[in-house]
Structure 1
Amino acid sequence: MNILFVHQNMPGQYREMVQWLAAQKQHQIYFLTQRQKPPSFEGVETRIYKTHRRPAKDAYGLSKVWEECSANGYGAILAARQIEAKEGFKPDIIIGHVGWGELTFFKELWADVPIIGFFEYYYSATGGPVGFDPDDTVSEQAPFMMHARNAVPVMNLQTVDKGVSPTLWQRNRFPSSFHDKLYVSHDGIRTDLLKPKPTVKLPLGRLGRELTRQDEVVTYVTRNLEHTRGFHIFMRALPEILAARPNARVLVLGGNDVSYGSKVATPGGLRAEMEAEVGDRVDWDRVHFLGQVPYGDYQRIIQVSRCHIYLTMPFVLSWSLLESMSMGATVVASDVAPVREAITHNETGLLVDFFDPAALAAQVVEVLEKPKAYEHLGKAARQHVIENYDFLTKCLPEHIAEINALVPAGKQIEIP
């Protein structure tokens, strides 16, 4: 089969699928992306497309996102035309993310080629991170700006033959009129590779020795240290955690940029702002900001953790939560709807009020103090991920079934 993946930041949600399909050595696979230095996968032809234009800085706010996304879509089409004209490649199916507009015009190029689109998030001024924190001011324009962003998924609902959302919460963000066209299946977690490792050892330069499972290690992981992922709540809980557990060490992973929401005005970002707020109430010798680390190091950090903290406002669920659960971590997480889809309190993890750093600290301290009393949660969490989110046995078969339903019998994908 000829398969075209489209994602502006390759591989995006298709990290596992594209590599699995390439490993079968039965398909011709192209990946169209804006990423200037994309990863290289054996058996995958990567082609970079350029957006057709950028909106002006003073472009009208309500249509600015659509202008940018439609330019992405046309840029992707121009690149696809070149691939067909110069390389003779025409896909049997197109799989891509709808959020940046890249898929919007593919039916105008190849009307007969089926498309499966990834529907990640439907914007509104209620029910998500906007207005969730009562201390955050929501402008009177916010509802209109949020809804204007939905021009892209609304148009792409007519473009795709089938859509997918990774969780029920994300699917249910979309109006009910979308639901018949959307199936729910996660991208998939490699539980066969992401396992607990009781013998794990983690070198820590400042400490001068390796950390092991015998150490009281607290972990917090996010792409960037920001409000949406609760970094400010985490930092406000630190003084009590470190005071109550004098041997605890805290490992923080994440960059100092912003992935979601607005940047703070403080030079040095939210990290600098929160360091100033908690000040000398924190023993900084026991807090290790590790930035963004290689994937193997990230695994060892989670494997050595006695208590893993996952915080988020109501927003898309991070891979890191499910990966941590797969590695058997005892997770203390924010009690919000998307997290409750993955964690049942006192069964597969522990949930606390997002806005209560004292409750967060108390729960983490108890886990550190009584690890045996809570180790069953990590085991149950791993089993839950295996049963509901495993890539090879759960998610991959669901995605392949949806692909096969759209292509002729002679081109269908077989799972060994």
Structure 2
Amino acid sequence: MRILLVHQNMPGQYRELLDWLIAQGGHELVFLTQRRNYPDREGVRKVVYAPHHKPAEDAYGLSKTWEEAAGNGFGAAQAAARLRDEGFVPDIILGHTGWGELLFMKQVLPDVPILGFFEYYYLAEGGPVGFDPEDPPSEVTPFLLHARNAVPNTAIQVVDRGLSPTRWQRDTFPDSFHDKLYVCHDGIRTDRLRADPGVTLGLGRIGQVTREDEIFTYLARNMERTRGFHTFMRALPAIQKARPNARVLVVGGSGASYGKASKAEGGFRAEMEREVGHLIDWDRVHFLGQVPYEAYRRIVQLSRCHIYLTMPFVLSWSLLESMAMQATVVASDVAPVREAITHGKTGLLVDFLDPDALATQVIDVLSNPDAHAGLGPAARAHVVDNYDFLTRCLPRHIDQINALVPEGRGLSL
């Protein structure tokens, strides 16, 4: 089968699918991306396209997102046209709709079906905007958000089929989208993600730590408000006071993936350190930055209590991966998390805006591990049953792909 994958940050949500397609063999795979530093791999041809953008200072605020998306779309379409002229006409195009890369594909490949990934529709209410009273939206925010939705509003007209990874994410889109969207997660490799009672990790001058040490964890792509870094930091003094032997491992960068970046010198981490740093025992706090995947996996396997915080927003892979590794998860009680966690059965939920509640729940988990011992295995069972890549998600995605391509040109397990 000939497949064109499109994602500005290769492989993005197609990580597991791409690995499976390469391992299966026999397919001609081309991946259009802006990511130059993704390593070349046997079995897939990486094609880096250049977006066509005018200088950012020339873009009017309300049209800036569309200008960037149209530039991405035009650049990707021109690259696809060159591939077409070289003889590569795909049987199907799989791509993310969020950055506009699919907008003009029908202009160059009009007969090729497109299955688009619809991640999030920007909400003025019900999402992260306005959720935290400390970060109120401006009076122009609803206009800016609606302007951003010009991209998915156009993309839904372009694709032949669409998907969203969770029901909550699907439901952020207008009802008029729903007939074209199916819900299925990217998939978690639960066969590769398991608990490991013998796991160890080198922690600098502390030496090797194991499951015998009292370790709890917080991780996010970046330490930012949307992922509850401020709530975590405000809960930390109480946790440390109650658990004098506990160490926390913090994984994440200092940038901003979602929402506004902190205006404070040193970013949001420095802002929170200035607020609560005098109350914290820094010898028991270990900021590890952004770590390789294997280190991340060992960190979660070590954890006696894993903290996952998010405003109502897209669900992180890390939550489901941590559940697959039988972590005892304390997470924020918001709708997208409730889709994955049932309080008291597969994890524990607390108010995102209440650091005291977070501290109380984490202290309870660390103080009474036997009382919560069933949460991790139940969490893994839930992920295996509902989000496993090989047995649950891949078959669904294959069915949807095969429904769009001519008979005899589809994928098979």
Do the two structures share a fold, i.e. TM-score over 0.5?
A: yes
**Cα displacement string for residues 112-154 of structure 1 (whole angstroms, at most 9, x for unaligned residues):** 1000000000012111010001121211111111011111111
Residues 1:387 and 2:385 aligned together: yes
1:215 paired residue number: 213
**Cα displacement string for residues 279-338 of structure 1 (whole angstroms, at most 9, x for unaligned residues):** 221100000000001100000000000000000000000000000000000000000000
Whether the aligned pair in 1 keeps the contact of 2:164 and 2:183 (CA below 8 Å) is: yes
CA distance in 1, matches of 2:40, 2:176: 38
The amino acid across from 1:302 in the alignment is: V
2:13 paired residue number: 13
2:283 paired residue number: 285
1:120 paired residue number: 119
CA distance in 2, matches of 1:303, 1:56: 44
1:362 paired residue number: 360
2:401 paired residue number: 403
Worse-matched range after superposition: 254-263 or 35-44: 35-44
The amino acid across from 2:358 in the alignment is: L
Whether the aligned pair in 2 keeps the contact of 1:33 and 1:47 (CA below 8 Å) is: yes
1:203 paired residue number: 202
1:189 paired residue number: 188
SS of residue matched to 2:57? coil
CA distance in 1, matches of 2:236, 2:348: 18
Whether the aligned pair in 2 keeps the contact of 1:19 and 1:41 (CA below 8 Å) is: no
RMSD of aligned residue pairs (Cα, Å)? 0.8
SS of residue matched to 1:144? helix
2:107 paired residue number: 108
Whether the aligned pair in 1 keeps the contact of 2:129 and 2:136 (CA below 8 Å) is: no
1:4 paired residue number: 4
Whether the aligned pair in 2 keeps the contact of 1:55 and 1:67 (CA below 8 Å) is: no
CA distance in 2, matches of 1:354, 1:334: 5
* Structure 2 unmatched ranges of 5 or more: none
2:24 paired residue number: 24
Shift of 1:41: 2.9
CA distance in 2, matches of 1:51, 1:362: 49
SS of residue matched to 2:19? helix
SS of residue matched to 1:14? helix
Shift of 1:39: 3.2
2:269 paired residue number: 271
Whether the aligned pair in 1 keeps the contact of 2:254 and 2:269 (CA below 8 Å) is: yes
Q: TM-score, normalised by structure 2?
A: 0.99
CA distance in 1, matches of 2:205, 2:228: 26
Q: TM-score, normalised by structure 1?
A: 0.98
The amino acid across from 2:175 in the alignment is: S
Matches within 5 A, 1:28-39: 28-39=28-39
2:141 paired residue number: 142
Shift of 1:49: 0.2
1:56 paired residue number: 56
The amino acid across from 2:209 in the alignment is: L
Shift of 1:236: 0.2
Whether the aligned pair in 2 keeps the contact of 1:218 and 1:249 (CA below 8 Å) is: yes
Whether the aligned pair in 1 keeps the contact of 2:216 and 2:249 (CA below 8 Å) is: yes
CA distance in 2, matches of 1:413, 1:56: 42
Aligned partner (choices 224, 243, 246) of residue 245 of structure 1:
243
Residues 1:129 and 2:128 aligned together: yes
SS of residue matched to 2:287? strand
Whether the aligned pair in 2 keeps the contact of 1:230 and 1:313 (CA below 8 Å) is: yes
1:156 paired residue number: 155
Whether the aligned pair in 2 keeps the contact of 1:186 and 1:389 (CA below 8 Å) is: yes
The amino acid across from 1:95 in the alignment is: L
Runs of 4+ in 1 over 6 A off after TM superposition: none
**Cα displacement string for residues 80-139 of structure 1 (whole angstroms, at most 9, x for unaligned residues):** 1112223x2110000000000000111111111000000000012111010001121211
Whether the aligned pair in 2 keeps the contact of 1:63 and 1:148 (CA below 8 Å) is: yes
Whether the aligned pair in 1 keeps the contact of 2:200 and 2:209 (CA below 8 Å) is: yes
SS of residue matched to 2:116? strand
Q: How many residues align?
A: 413
2:177 paired residue number: 178
Shift of 1:55: 4.5
CA distance in 2, matches of 1:377, 1:48: 44
CA distance in 1, matches of 2:306, 2:280: 19
Shift of 1:58: 4.2
SS of residue matched to 1:63? helix
